[in-house]
């Protein structure tokens, strides 16, 4: 679906144009055409491929989807793929933004994602001095917007991790639930990691040693995006590390607690077993058991049971068995 | 076994030729010979070595088999080895595809693998403008086809992992079986990893800084294969990581569950031990035990037993011991 | 809030100047202006941006805060961000120091941190021969001061780790408490790690192969800071590694101890169960039980119980079960 | 001990020569001398050092032994050290092969190893066209032979690992034995790893970017060795990884099995405790226990015991406690 | 404290000189001054700083101590810091050797370490042809001597590890003690690791691509030290890896053993519970219990108890529960 198609010259919008008239604008000096597609059909994409002479491999990637994030050069063109991660209930919905940027045009293809990039177009049109730098700047602006959307998602994952951590040490929670929650959190984190880490690598190629012609005027901006991605990447690594520790600490604490309980139950059982044994002995039916005839035999036997248990109880307490 | 032997000129097939007449075609301008062998004998391979002046080290590798995937240069020739992974029941059958590519010829040697590469030949013949680029493009097409076969295999491993994950958290499954299944999954994954990771390295040499003459026209295509391999590699790493976590989480959950059970059994045992002890006491044969003569002694003793157990039961419930 | 604003020429202070007159000094030969802000408003920062022609991306970073430590070049300017870590009760308060250094000026922006850098200004003014090298040297002096503040913090973490280690092996402590303490320690350590590791990377750019013009005279000094950071980084890694080992060793020791206890309780229970069983047998009410009528039946039965228990006791002792 | 000393010219053996006449041959065009020592005395080595002007540091390494595998350049000479790993009962015997290769000579020193390299000399003499390339080729042939001996050793380790894996899942084996076997296997693996990994690094220097003059004609051969070493290294890493997993899985399975057993024992104990308690109650000596006088009191009590146990038994079965 | 101060010319010692006359010798052709200090005061060091024009940052490092090992260039001077690790009872004492080497002098500063480097001076004076190369060679000789002292220390750690390993599998030892010993061993190992790993990095700068002028004639020697350090580093990594495995294997074996014991105790308890239950039943006081009146009731009941226990015993044996 074609969302918009407009021509810009020297940083100013000439106006929305019909897709059929794109060729007329590609030749104007200082002019570039910006087209946005959303979940395009193969025909729509094929049409754009012809108009902008896109490389078939890049078009195939945009069509197929499920690519790793990347920024590739095809001659004087750049082809970028980014993941668009949108929370969908408990899970993440991963869409894609594919961007073809040439000296005279920029084509963005959004797939399987709800939220559009209209605000990027608006921002660019408010900054004519930046937009004058052409499609390289628009490419930056789109990537920057997509990357900025990663921050609240990662923040939310961090918050969830913190709330699970609280449950771990409170220990009134359900340990099984904590592990399941941490496991699910890790899987969502990996989706973010797969969105961020390869892109970091890709961006370094347009802000590092050899910069493609298209981005020459905007390297500082791409370096800024690179810096954001590094922050995201570090946060993701940090969360991952903490999840691993939290899983093992959670298990440790639960094991400790269960062991404590078992130990206490075993110690109480021992306290019960002593009187049971003594009672058993005086329950024997031997004819000659002198104690049985004692006046205070019964009371004495109870006293002995109590004394032994009292002794054991205090000893267990001292040994931290109870 | 010779599968096919054909000559091509300027992207078009001249026709199938007899192996004995290969030399006649090697000298024709814009012409190259494409030979496919399957599980060849040493004699067949020796014959090709003479015709194409293959390097003895490369031929030895193709003969011996069980190589790491790689792409090596021998002068102006390229020698590539790929793993062909084919599901065989519960296990994987790992064959090999060795490709010798020179400026005037391409020789592919398939070993210990069922499925051939006829569809690659068909695709190449349908695209004369690509085939005109010579053996470098055919080399790409073969590698691309082999790599594309990795995707469904890895997808299947991912599906299996997910179904095991379901069993872990459902916890009605057999924990022992889960661990065995994860262990077996990991071993099959490692076969894929050994097919993908070294090839990634090898491909980077033909799509990176210094490109061999044979591949100059097809670097973008090799970069595309490289990109596919990176995706495969990332998926494999991700699965491996998840398997490790799943093994440990599975064990944790089982341990938790078993501990729960033991704790409950121990708590119930304690509930039984109390009446047993009291009954033991009133089973003693002392002559002077006044309670024994009480009218409601028996009932009272039962009441005491019940009261203590009721108290313990509710306390255990509160402490989550039951 | 503007803390100070002074002009320096040839290593000597010309005097505090009004912010409005900064432009007059920027043109003087061998002169540079040093401005320090603390938690500035957007307006104050915007004012400085205009006066020193700061790059909007750098200003945005200083304004927003929560950046990774870094040192970036903007043309002939350097922009550095450092974390200021200040102990706040049990936790750390992480502020930031952003420094803009140009050939003619240095602007430092301290955010969310208590302690200022007045002593750096004092030190620089005491060393005119160093200060003569201009803003590059002041940049070094600020970074050096910030980095030096990391040492006591990391030393304290190391001390805490050692005191927890003492508790682990003393084993009179609370194992649960040890794990919580180690977990909390690790989180504070990660704050330090995030302050140190990215800065290490950043500094290597101003002391390594291609040095920015601003730092040419001070590379040896930056290399010294780099060396300090490496020491800090190594210490942090070492602490992290030890925490991981300590957590697992702590759990191991506790598990060992609990197992010991359980084993001893179980062994004692077995010792009690034997007499209970024998007593039970002689408590049976069969009419024909000859032992019951023996003169020394009772004593003999007690002797048998004692003998068996004595035998078991010594055997358990030998097997280290008791 | 001098094993052999022969001179070669243009790929052909001139004949065995006396060590004292080495100098006569060093000057002949296209001629080189090949000397093999086995566990030489310091005097023998010193003698060779003088004749071939070997560097004292290299000679010291060959004398002392226990070096890391390496390939070093001393001017136009190469000095290589390899580990010779020979199975000795359950353990490995690690010897060394030190090779000094100069433009006019090759000196091999074998230490603490049984098996010699006579077959390398025989192979070289059968291939005069290769031997014509001089000592660089002989160096390759020796390294190739030594590396080829690693394969069967690593294969055997792999086989052992597989047979232990079988025991783990069969679970009729002795878990303690499995762990000891895996631990011992890992230690032998590390010996192989220490033989392979540093050599890999060393070989990359003679087959990579800047090739020493001595190896210029044989780079393809060294690359082949490099490839073999990479395969060995990958196999070793793979085995190591599997050992770690196997240790933890073995422990997990054993723990699961033991927990199962404990749970079943505890459940059976609970089944026994119920009748014991009831029997205890009817063993009390109260005067007023109406049930005792019932005609079918005894039978009824047995029935109640059986009923409760039957109920518990079926419930335990359902909960997988039995 | 000044230990010695001597002048050398063309590899020969001119004689011990007074510190005050150092300047006279610095100008002589082919002459250099070698000064050794031990735990110097700030004044002594300041004195040397003036005489040799040492860089203040290097002097500060030597004064402060507790540096990472490193080799730094200051113009045409080299500044090296090494750790001197000396066993002190159960622990290690870590001193430092700081060396300033210029074209005309070498100043060594030993701090907090007992053992001196007199034997290095003696060795150098015995080898005039080497000493002729000046302070670069002396720098090498000092580093070589310091590194050689690491070998016996690491060997001892390896021996200790092996003796603990013996205790683990003998399993008659104290598992708690094993873990404590392994933990302590790891901490001492880390001290060695911190001495070796950074130095390895530092040495690579004086034996690698761009060699400082001072070391041009001695690169082969520095490469030899580098090789030694790599061996040390590999050994340290290997020990660390083994310690980690040993801790986990130790715990595994102990857990296995404890589980075995618990299982056996539980099985024995079950064997005792059966007769106890039966005896309890025949200890009930029902009036109508026909078995009680049987002639052989008692014997029969004992026989039943024995039979059941015999059956259970053999079944437990078969299931490896006993």
Helical spans, DSSP H, in A95-149: 118-126, 128-131, 135-148
Q: Is pTM beyond 0.80 here?
A: yes
Whether residue D72 and residue E287 make contact (CB cut-off 8 A), yes or no, is no
Chain E: closest CA distance from residue D255 (Å): 8
Whether A288 and C297 have beta carbons less than 8 Å apart is answered as yes
- Res. B314: pLDDT tops 70: yes
Whether B51 and B23 have beta carbons less than 8 Å apart is answered as yes
Q: What are B226-263's pLDDT values in tens digits?
A: 999 999 999 999 999 999 888 888 877 877 788 888 88
* Closest by Cα among B79, B76, B69 to B99: B79
Show which of residues 75-94 on chain B sit within 8 Å of chain D, judged by CB atoms. none
pLDDT range class, residue E170, cuts 50, 70, 90 = confident
**Mean pLDDT rounded to a whole number for chain B:** 91
The residue of B285, B287, B321 whose CB has the most chain A CBs within 10 angstroms, and thus the best one to mutate to test that interface, is: B285
- Compare all CA atoms of chain B with the CA of D320 and give the residue at the minimum distance: B172
Print the SS3 string covering chain E: CEEEEEEEECCEEEEECCHHHHHHHHCCCCEEEEEEEECCCHHHHHHHHHHHCCCHHHHHHHHHCCCCCEEEEECCEEEEEEEEEEEECCEEEEEEEEEEEECCEEEEEEECCCCCCHHHHHHHHHCHHHHCCCHHHHHHHHHHHHHHCHHHHHHHHHHHHHHHHHHHHHCCCCHHHHHHHHHHHHHHHHHHHHHHHHHHHHHHHHHCCCCCHHHHHHHHHHHHHHHHHHHHHHHHHHHHHHHHHHHHHHHHHHHHHHHHHHHHHHHHHHHHHHHHHHHHHHCCCCCCCHHHHCCCHHHHHHHHHHHHHHHHHHHHHHCCCC
What percent of chain E has pLDDT above 90?
69
For chain D, which chains pass the contact test of at least 3 CB pairs under 8 Å? B, E
CA gap D186, D243 in Å, rounded = 7
**Mean pLDDT rounded to a whole number for chain E:** 91
pLDDT range class, residue D252, cuts 50, 70, 90 = confident
Q: What are A119-143's pLDDT values in tens digits?
A: 999 999 998 988 998 899 999 999 9
Whether C5 and C35 have beta carbons less than 8 Å apart is answered as yes
pLDDT at D107: 97
Nearest to B276 among D230, D252, D276 (CB): D276
Nearest to C238 among E175, E183, E190 (CB): E190
Nearest to A256 among C55, C72, C254 (CB): C254
Q: What are D202-246's pLDDT values in tens digits?
A: 998 787 667 888 888 888 899 999 999 999 999 999 999 999 888
* Closest by Cα among D199, D193, D194 to D234: D193
Q: What are B14-27's pLDDT values in tens digits?
A: 999 999 899 999 98
* Residues facing A13 on adjacent strands: A8
CA gap B255, B206 in Å, rounded = 51
Whether residue C297 and residue A281 make contact (CB cut-off 8 A), yes or no, is no
pLDDT range class, residue A228, cuts 50, 70, 90 = very high
Q: Residues of C with CB below 8 A from A267's CB?
A: 265
Q: Residues of C with CB below 8 A from E241's CB?
A: none
- Res. B204: pLDDT tops 90: no
Q: Residues of E with CB below 8 A from C252's CB?
A: 179, 247, 251
Show which of residues 248-267 on chain A sit within 8 Å of chain B, judged by CB atoms. 251, 254-255, 258, 261-262, 265-266
Whether residue E292 and residue C285 make contact (CB cut-off 8 A), yes or no, is yes
What is the mean pLDDT of the segment spanning B193-211?
86
**Mean pLDDT rounded to a whole number for chain D:** 91
* Closest by Cα among C34, C8, C176 to C107: C34
Q: Residues of E with CB below 8 A from D261's CB?
A: 263, 319, 321
- Res. B173: pLDDT tops 80: no
Whether residue D276 and residue E274 make contact (CB cut-off 8 A), yes or no, is no
Show which of residues 179-198 on chain C sit within 8 Å of chain A, judged by CB atoms. 179-180, 183, 186-187, 190, 194, 198
CA gap B240, B229 in Å, rounded = 16
pLDDT at D172: 66
pLDDT at B282: 93
ipTM for the whole predicted complex goes beyond 0.95:
no
* Closest by Cα among E120, E114, E117 to E87: E114
DSSP A239-300: HHHHHHHHHHHHHHHHHHHHHHHHHHHHHHHHHHHHHHHHHHHHT---S--GGGGSTTHHHH
- Compare all CA atoms of chain A with the CA of B289 and give the residue at the minimum distance: A298
| Lowest mean pLDDT segment, chosen from C87-96, E69-78, E163-172, E191-200 | E163-172
- Return the structure tokens found at B243: 């398997």
Cα distances from A69 to residues A83, A192, A248, B230, in angstroms, run: 6, 11, 32, 11
Strand order in D91-102's β-sheet? D12-16, D2-9, D31-38, D105-111, D91-102, D77-88, D70-74
Whether D156 and D149 have beta carbons less than 8 Å apart is answered as no
pLDDT range class, residue A319, cuts 50, 70, 90 = confident
Whether residue B270 and residue A265 make contact (CB cut-off 8 A), yes or no, is yes
- Compute the residue count for chain E: 322
Show which of residues 31-60 on chain E sit within 8 Å of chain C, judged by CB atoms. 55, 57
Contacts of E107 (CB under 8 A, 6+ apart): E34, E35, E36, E37, E48, E52, E54, E99, E100, E101
Q: What are A27-43's pLDDT values in tens digits?
A: 898 899 999 999 999 99
Q: Residues of E with CB below 8 A from D303's CB?
A: none
Q: Is B43 helix (H, G, I), strand (E, B) or coil?
A: helix
Q: Residues of B with CB below 8 A from A77's CB?
A: none
CA gap C92, A110 in Å, rounded = 42
Q: What are D82-135's pLDDT values in tens digits?
A: 999 999 888 899 999 999 999 999 999 999 999 999 999 999 999 898 899 889
Tell me the count of A-C CB pairs closer than 8 A. Answer: 119
| H-helix or E-strand spanning residue C10 | none
Environment class of residue C213 by beta-carbon count within 10 Å: exposed (0-12), middle (13-18) or buried (19+)?
exposed
Whether residue D249 and residue B183 make contact (CB cut-off 8 A), yes or no, is yes
- Res. A173: pLDDT tops 80: no
Q: Is C306 within 8 Å of chain E by CB?
A: no
Q: Report phi then psi at A172, rounded to 5.
A: -95, -10
Chain A: closest CA distance from residue B237 (Å): 11
What is the radius of gyration, based on Cα positions, of chain E? 35
pLDDT range class, residue E213, cuts 50, 70, 90 = confident
Q: What are B25-37's pLDDT values in tens digits?
A: 998 888 999 999 9
Q: What are B259-292's pLDDT values in tens digits?
A: 888 888 889 988 999 999 999 999 999 998 999 9
Q: Residues of A with CB below 8 A from C80's CB?
A: none
Contacts of E208 (CB under 8 A, 6+ apart): none
Q: Residues of C with CB below 8 A from A253's CB?
A: 176, 179
pLDDT at C109: 96
Nearest to D251 among E252, E283, E285 (CB): E252
**Mean pLDDT rounded to a whole number for chain C:** 91
pLDDT range class, residue A261, cuts 50, 70, 90 = confident
What percent of chain E has pLDDT above 70?
98
- Return the structure tokens found at D92: 């490995």
Chain A: closest CA distance from residue C282 (Å): 5
What is the mean pLDDT of the segment spanning E26-38?
92
- Return the structure tokens found at D307: 């009923």
What is the mean pLDDT of the segment spanning C228-248?
92
Whether A37 and A108 have beta carbons less than 8 Å apart is answered as yes
pLDDT at D209: 65
Whether B63 and B45 have beta carbons less than 8 Å apart is answered as yes
- Return the structure tokens found at B195: 């097919």
The residue of D286, D288, D291, D308 whose CB has the most chain B CBs within 10 angstroms, and thus the best one to mutate to test that interface, is: D286
Q: Is D269 within 8 Å of chain E by CB?
A: yes
Other CB atoms within a 10 A radius of the CB of residue E42 amount to 10
For chain B, which chains pass the contact test of at least 3 CB pairs under 8 Å? A, D
The residue of C57, C267, C272, C287 whose CB has the most chain A CBs within 10 angstroms, and thus the best one to mutate to test that interface, is: C272
Whether B97 and B139 have beta carbons less than 8 Å apart is answered as no
Contacts of E210 (CB under 8 A, 6+ apart): none
Whether residue B277 and residue A280 make contact (CB cut-off 8 A), yes or no, is no
**Half-sphere exposure in the Cβ direction for B143 (13 Å, CA):** 36
Q: Residues of D with CB below 8 A from E260's CB?
A: 258
Q: Residues of E with CB below 8 A from C162's CB?
A: none
- Return the structure tokens found at A293: 């005839």
The residue of D276, D290, D296, D309 whose CB has the most chain E CBs within 10 angstroms, and thus the best one to mutate to test that interface, is: D276
Chain A: closest CA distance from residue C141 (Å): 25
Name the maximum alpha-carbon separation found in chain A.
124
Q: Where are the beta strands (DSSP E) in chain D?
A: 2-9, 12-16, 31-38, 70-74, 77-88, 91-102, 105-111
Show which of residues 202-231 on chain E sit within 8 Å of chain C, judged by CB atoms. none
Q: Residues of A with CB below 8 A from C179's CB?
A: 249, 252-253, 256
Cα distances from E127 to residues E10, E118, E121, E144, in angstroms, run: 11, 15, 10, 15
Q: Is A88 helix (H, G, I), strand (E, B) or coil?
A: strand
pLDDT at A31: 92
Whether E81 and E97 have beta carbons less than 8 Å apart is answered as yes
What is the mean pLDDT of the segment spanning D45-71?
93
Q: What are C14-71's pLDDT values in tens digits?
A: 999 999 899 999 989 889 999 999 999 999 999 999 999 999 999 999 999 889 999 9
DSSP D288-310: --GGGGSTTHHHHHHHHHHHHHH
pLDDT at C171: 59
pLDDT range class, residue C211, cuts 50, 70, 90 = confident
Chain B: closest CA distance from residue D307 (Å): 16
Other CB atoms within a 10 A radius of the CB of residue E246 amount to 22
Chain B: closest CA distance from residue D280 (Å): 5
Q: Is D171 helix (H, G, I), strand (E, B) or coil?
A: coil
Chain A: closest CA distance from residue C247 (Å): 8
pLDDT range class, residue A321, cuts 50, 70, 90 = confident
* Residues facing D92 on adjacent strands: D87
Q: Is A283 within 8 Å of chain C by CB?
A: yes
């Amino acid at each position: 679906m074609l969302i918009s198609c407009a021509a810009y010259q020297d940083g100013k919008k000439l106006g929305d144009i019909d897709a059929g008239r794109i060729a007329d604008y590609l030749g104007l000096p200082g002019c570039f055409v910006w087209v946005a597609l959303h979940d395009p059909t193969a025909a729509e994409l094929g049409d754009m491929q012809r108009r902008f002479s896109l490389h078939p491999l890049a078009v195939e990637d945009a069509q197929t989807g499920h690519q790793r994030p990347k920024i590739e050069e095809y001659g004087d063109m750049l082809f970028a793929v980014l993941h668009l991660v949108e929370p969908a209930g408990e899970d993440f919905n991963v869409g894609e933004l594919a961007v073809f940027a040439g000296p005279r045009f920029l084509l963005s293809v959004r797939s399987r994602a709800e939220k559009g990039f209209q605000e990027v177009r608006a921002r660019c049109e408010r900054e004519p001095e930046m937009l004058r730098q052409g499609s390289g700047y628009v490419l930056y602006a789109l990537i920057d917007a997509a990357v900025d959307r990663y921050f609240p998602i990662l923040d939310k994952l961090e918050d969830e991790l913190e709330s699970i951590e609280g449950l771990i040490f409170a220990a009134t929670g359900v340990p099984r639930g904590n592990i399941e929650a941490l496991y699910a959190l890790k899987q969502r984190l990996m989706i973010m990691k797969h969105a961020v880490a390869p892109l970091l690598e890709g961006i370094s190629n347009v802000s590092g040693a050899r910069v493609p012609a298209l981005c020459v005027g905007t390297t500082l901006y791409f370096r800024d995006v690179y810096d954001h991605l590094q922050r995201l990447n570090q946060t993701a690594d940090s969360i991952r590390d903490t999840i691993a520790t939290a899983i093992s600490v959670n298990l440790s604490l639960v094991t400790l607690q269960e062991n404590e309980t078992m130990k206490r139950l075993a110690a109480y059982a021992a306290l019960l077993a002593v009187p049971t044994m003594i009672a058993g002995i005086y329950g024997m039916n031997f004819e000659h058991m002198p104690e049985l005839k004692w006046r205070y035999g019964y009371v004495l036997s109870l006293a002995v049971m109590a004394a032994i248990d009292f002794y054991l109880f205090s000893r267990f307490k001292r040994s931290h068995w109870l």
